[in-house]
Structure 1
Amino acid sequence: MMGPINQKDSSLPWDTRMRFDRNKNTILVIDDELGPRESLRILFKGIYNVITAEDGEKGIKIFKENKDIIDAIILDLKMPKKSGIETLEEIRKIDEKVPVIILTGYGDMETAKKAIHLGTLEFMSKPFNVDEMEEIVKRAVNKRKAILESEKLKEELTLLNSRLNERIAQMEKLATIGQLSSEIIHEVNNLLTVIHGYTQLLLQEISGENISSKYLLTIESEIKRCKNIARSILEIAKSKPEARPMKDVCLNEIIRKIIEFLEISNIAKGIKFSLSLENDLPMIKGEPNHLHQAILNILINSIQAMNKRGEISVRTEKAKGKVLLIIKDTGKGIPQDIIDKITEPFFTTKEEGAGLGLSIASRIIKNHNGELKIFSKIGEGTEFKIYFPVSTLNMN
């Protein structure tokens, strides 16, 4: 692709505004003599893009404005206005690693030492040998390429290292939780057993279809589900998880139960729910308690985001061989810079909460070969799209 180096600055020499090939390497020639500048431009025509400057000041300006595309510099040591050493010092302030080839006719030893100290790649005397110059410039360009690749790899390695450290920190947190989980869950399970027992006694005392009976049945159902979840966590803590059988599940049925529970509880007080569930929704393969937990966690997250005011719409539909669940709230929204982090364990923006709700939901969805996509806009709310593969029963 051809394009201008710098068309905005008309004060630059005519040959710095020439059209050049972006697929070729670029060299900058800084020399007060026209002869060497033209010789080098002709020598490397068709091989490299050549930019020339007749003094140090212009050379520095050109390099500063085009440093990202200049791969090597050929610099005359003896020049009026600003000497080659002074020019080299300024270039090194801009870029410490760009290869520089010194070109001189009568440089002394002291000047040569300064140039070497400033990171000069090679010295060439005037008049230069064409073959030698070609070889040195080729070496300089290759060195620049190696430097840039090395820096890129270093950046990638730093990024990977940072991600690895984050992952290690995350795993350490999970390990700490894992050490405590068995004891905690045993205690919770014992409490649930007691509550379950009293609930069953109350159900025996209440006769007929009334509101109290309905509430108690809901409580009993939720206690059973909590006990199942507690058992699952204990299985994981023991590192001997029992294979939980997947079965055909009606997603609409799970959603209705969750919404019914939320509507009669204080959790969703002040929240309006809007349901649009597709009638002929295919079955999905899953573990009902886990799916219930995942969807409930997402809904609770939406409820908390709205501070008990607003609307949550829940919709299901068929989507190209998959079942799609869409949960949309009218909450405050999630900033784009953290939206990729909200499903990480222990990440939370709330003053209260462990930051595990969406993490658990995300993990459950993945375990069901599902996919969770999150879209959000500040001041407008958040949309969760969950895709589940349909059961093979539907396919047959």
Structure 2
Amino acid sequence: MADFGSDLELEDFRAEARAWLEANFPKSLAGKGALASAEISVDNPELKAWRKTIGAKGWATPTWPAEYGGGGLSPHQARVLAQEMAKIGAFNPMMFGMGVTMIGPTILDYGTEAQKAKHIPPIVRGDAQWCVGYSEPNAGSDLASLQMRCDDAGDHWVITGQKTWTSGAQYSDWCGALVRTDFTAKKHDGISFMLIDMHQPAIEPRPIALIAGASPFCETFFTEATAPKDALLGELNGGWSVGKRLLQHERASQTGASGGGRATPLQDIAKRYVGVDDKGHLADPDLRTRLTRHLMDSKIHGLTLARAVAESKGASGATNAASVLKNSATHVAQTRSELTLEIMGGQGLGWDGEGFTREEIESVRGWLGGKAMSIYGGSVEIQNNIISKRILGLPDNTQST
């Protein structure tokens, strides 16, 4: 892959990207990226057309190898593409699925050529939906305690057990799951990573209702489900390393790198609901101070993210720094939601009805749904442990079992 980094080459590519987006991105979807999985139905013809078009172009996975259908762009070009998309409120419709954000990059890291050729092109095109089978009822933060078993049946694997919080399992074609293949080994050493076809009666996803209304989560039951021998990703009993790598990719995707169209500036919302003084300043000085602090935090997060991307090495750039950015992104997003509801006052507490605008209803539901950010992808406490031990080099005061 050529590294197009000169100013002239990048400006030529910018013009190409701008023209392509102008010709292909449906203007009716502008600014709706953050709501694509909830607000826009999967049956929406313009969304389906956009997914198909950007998938065929390879720009939903801009830096993935062209030989598997990816864009084959350099990081510099991908950044330019993201900038041009943001200018018009465009978004990457694949970035709300686990195939692009987690499973695909992990297959590129650990997969055989046959596995890459089989799974990567459908992910790139948006033809295959993936979920991730990690947590279990008795294996949440202590994921290595998982008990879903995978037995070698000679020419195939047999998988039995339960996973929970399997986002999108009810819609998925495939599941990337951590399973126990050796019950006699230490708990970290007897785990393998399997690529499991979800289209079999032995697998039953059951959606879990959430306080915010829409729920992506499921508990998923496997009762002697099967997988071919080549479903093993990475080494047998080496799944813990594969699983950790996937989590790095997940955390990187949750730092704000994927974009999602333009959001209304919070200061504009505040001026509309709270009002301004004769100098054009927010009428509430305390709110003005807290809003300014939030905008500073948001800017700092964006600059840190840009620096981490610029300093990253290799194709994925997923590192322990993703833990810092994941917590930072969580703080910024949750603070924005809290401030938005405070700014809207009573109008920020509506669930339904003609007395509330769509923006107000979406704000309260987004506030409720955003509480999960502190937990999914590794809780804030888990990220702080990673930061303290792997980045700051602080001593580990816990005892492993």
Which one has a bigger Cα radius of gyration?
1
TM above 0.5, yes or no, is: no
Which TM-score applies when normalising by structure 2? 0.22
Q: Which has the higher contact order (CA 8 A, sep 6+)?
A: 2
Comparing both structures, which one devotes a greater share of its residues to strand?
1
